[in-house]
Amino acid sequence: MYFPTKKDLWIYPISAIAAFVCLMLPFIEKDYFMLLFTAPPGVFMVWSWFKTGYEIGGDELTIYSGPIKKRIPIHEIRKTKRILSSPALSMDRLEISYSVHYHIAVISPIHQTEFVRLPVQKNSGIQLDERLK
């Protein structure tokens, strides 16, 4: 099941302005060499805006952010909790601790309660933050 990322209202204008500056400034300034430096981050921002989400399928959680894809086996997830700060498109985020090495992934699915329910069905050992129960 696919869960799109939650996007806070304040991030829309910031992302649009940043992408516009990266992609259009070289044309406005008629400095096309600048495209070599501004186009890659601009394309990455636009790609991440439209292709950030989370998929729970089989026995793994897949995190998509633009061209980046990260797979986390559900049996390795140790706990989830709500947090306030990290790089995401929303301030309403989840921190997922996984692996014996305590790796962390920070995500912001739209329907957090439903999102958390699916991995817990497959791994009853996941510790949930009280605010997610």
Q: Mean pLDDT by 10-residue block, N- to C-terminus, for the chain (133 residues)? A: 92 94 96 96 95 94 95 92 64 86 88 88 87 73
Cα separation, 29 vs 49, in Å, equals: 26
The predicted structure's pLDDT at residue 83: 67
75: CB partners within 8 A, 6+ apart? 59, 122, 123
The whole-angstrom distance between residue 103's C-alpha and the CA centroid of its chain comes to 15
82 touches 132 (CB < 8 A): yes
Which pLDDT belongs to residue 37? 97
Residue type, 99: S
Mean of all residue pLDDT scores within the chain: 89
Residue 84: per-residue pLDDT: 60
Nearest one of 93, 108, 94, 89 to 10, comparing CA atoms:
89
**Residue 73 tokens, joined:** 């086996």
Determine whether domain 2-132 maps to CATH 3.30.70.270.
no
CB 123 within 8 A of CB 75: yes
Which letter does DSSP use for residue 109 in this model? Answer: B
Tokens of 26: 């070289």
Amino acid 86: pLDDT: 53
